[in-house]
Amino acid sequence: MFKDLSPNLKSSITRSITQTFEQYMSSIEWSEDKYSIDDFIASWREYITTKALWYSKIPDDMKVNPIFHEDLAQRINEVIARVLGEPPSEGQIAAIQIMQEQLNTHLEYNCKAEAVYVETLLKNHLGL
């Protein structure tokens, strides 16, 4: 059913998953111990029902269809895997390394989105 949506609608859904996942992970400081798929889904559900303009464009009968929910769960898993699998850029690595040397820290990051979080954290500590 997800595949039957317009390309713009699928793109909007994907963006909302990506943004909400990255915001959720930042809120838990990218801690695997604090991660809960249920908490993330609750955050995403709140976002789509209160802020997402695309949500009202999905027919109500589709919203309650179990097949649509399965398709959506699969898309969520794909997006999360893509976010977690995208490596940090060379620029991010270099900038983080310089700041960590200045602050004598050793924060770890495994993907581009987590590197954005770490870079922001370090900049805040340096007052940049």
Mean pLDDT by 10 residues, the chain (128 residues): 91 96 97 96 94 92 94 96 98 97 96 98 92
Written as one letter, the residue type at 71 is D
- Planar angle of CA 73, 29, 120, nearest 5 degrees: 110
pLDDT attached to residue 1: 86
Separation between Cα atoms, residue 95 and residue 89, nearest integer Å: 10
Q: What pTM was computed for the model?
A: 0.91
**Token code pair at residue 26:** 């930042």
pLDDT attached to residue 75: 96
pLDDT attached to residue 3: 87
CB 16 within 8 A of CB 8: no
